[in-house]
A and B are shown apart, each in its own frame.
Chain A
């Protein structure tokens, strides 16, 4: 096994050049370094194949439709989380912002409340979500506090605001304005049913994949997460970028709130309890580095799908849902360990 590998890059180390070889494992490392979404994609394929084999009713068009619907809320939420984690930040409050926003949207549109038209209530929700994200960003950039601490604090604040504002009451299906339920509408594609909420989520993924890849703002998000000092010296206003990221993420959380209302056909202060951590799970399993500067938004979509596939597969196979937590927990550790290993690769 000597020297048939060619040096494809100019950054080839002299020793490697001298030895002129790369082990199979190193080659894998190099490939994964270039395409970080490959490993979650193969996990998704393998998991789907295993469940298709084990649980006979798993691999049906109907079930695949259900899986995409189950992914819609966390999938949307996790787009905002991806942006934040790319800047080497974290948002523990995203689920709380989403639930709070969903209550604001649902309640202000109620006849017994402000009786706003559905569209206006949604617009108000976007403003509230954006402001919540802006508040997180402001605390992080102006007070120079770590994102973990700021969002741990705002997690408590938004959770409590939700309970106080909702007065412990769920806005039920028949009380919801029709516009708010629009994202729960199913579209039947020959047995494969998806909802408008899923389409909105996919649209958002397309938009942010483009923005991160092809705009200056996208480059700046990566640069700030990669090395904030280098970004500052290159003339990027780091705090401005961070503030914009947290605000944009807040808008995305508000859209996730709309998807949530459509999905559960109600707005409850008690829904989405696990959403904060689930969104981080999707991002991490999707191959985005918690250290910032590395990752793709499409990986997050794959990560969110993996969680839904495991959940659905275990339940159809008749296994205890406790195994889901076990499996996802192990996947998180494996994903982060893999990230550490891949980061050491010389592409």
Chain B
């Protein structure tokens, strides 16, 4: 494999996939974001942690188009972008998996994966009779599941309400991976799950990373963050408190940084990339990308 110097030269060439500079967001007199900076590098898993009210959600909302920041810039691949609706970010290839398991229980797995982006049959059946390509969507959903290593879901015609919490979250993640070709944001994906199911979701995150997909993971669960994150962004008082890696600090230190008991000097932080992106960077080829367009 590559030597230390080759690796660092490769790392120095990387520009952030998604970047926020000096983001400010106020709600009335409450300052949620007070000049927050943020950078996600290609192919890495970046955890975002922080106390309640530190501005994690506000920052993620600003980056995913759910909220428009009052000031500051958002850059995607170095280009300045303005997202005013979640649809804008989706169109740019940023998909978000929500804590609330945003799937429709009565609908089947394939229908859920393609909800709002359905594919129709070719020819007259599709154009005049608007007939959906049910078997095609089920086949592509199945391919997507196996490309992410989700083996427990076999029947794409199964309704989602018959699945466990972890399996439902897997459907959400698979949907995000199918249509998100730039960034996948996971907001507390394991908050509602048990131990075994959480492990499944963490494995999914690792699989995404191994395919070169950058992931933002918002979580309260320190052991999980330490297990999968390449870098950890600690949000504090509406700003970037510090960026560290699981290798340089302990969980106890992280809690101290979160509460402000410990300050990390800038030169000791990990503001640059640490992971060389996996070679298969870019969209996961399942044929789903055309449907997104």
Contacts and interface: CB of A to CB of B under 8 A. Distances in A.
Contact of B163 (A11, A214, A226): A11
Contacts of A214: 129-132, 134
A215 B104 contact: no
B106 A293 contact: yes
Interface of B: 86-87, 90, 96, 98, 100-107, 111-112, 115-118, 120, 129-132, 134, 152-155, 158-159, 161-164, 167, 175
B102 A11 contact: no
A234 B100 contact: no
Interface string A211-239: 00011110110110011011101111000
A195 B90 CA distance: 52
B164 A11 contact: yes
A8 to B, nearest CB: 9
A230 B159 contact: no
Given A215-B130, A347-B161, 14 more contacts: A9-B162, A10-B154, A13-B164, A214-B134, A219-B107, A227-B103, A227-B105, A230-B103, A231-B104, A233-B100, A233-B102, A234-B102, A236-B115, A293-B107
B116 A234 contact: yes
A27 interface: no
Nearest to B119: A216
Interface of A: 9-11, 13, 210, 214-217, 219-220, 222-223, 226-227, 229-231, 233-236, 293-294, 346-347
A210 B153 CA distance: 28
B11 to A, nearest CB: 35
B104 A230 contact: yes
Main secondary structure on B side of the interface with A = loop
From A214, A227, A233, A346, name the one whose CB has the most chain B CB atoms within 10 angstroms: A233
B130 A222 contact: no
Contacts of A223: 104, 107, 111, 115
B153 A10 contact: yes
A226 B105 CA distance: 7
B126 to A, nearest CB: 10
A233 B132 contact: no
From A219, A220, A222, A229, name the one whose CB has the most chain B CB atoms within 10 angstroms: A219
Nearest to A233: B102
Nearest to A224: B104
A234 B103 CA distance: 8
A10 B90 contact: no
B211 to A, nearest CB: 23
B102 A219 contact: no
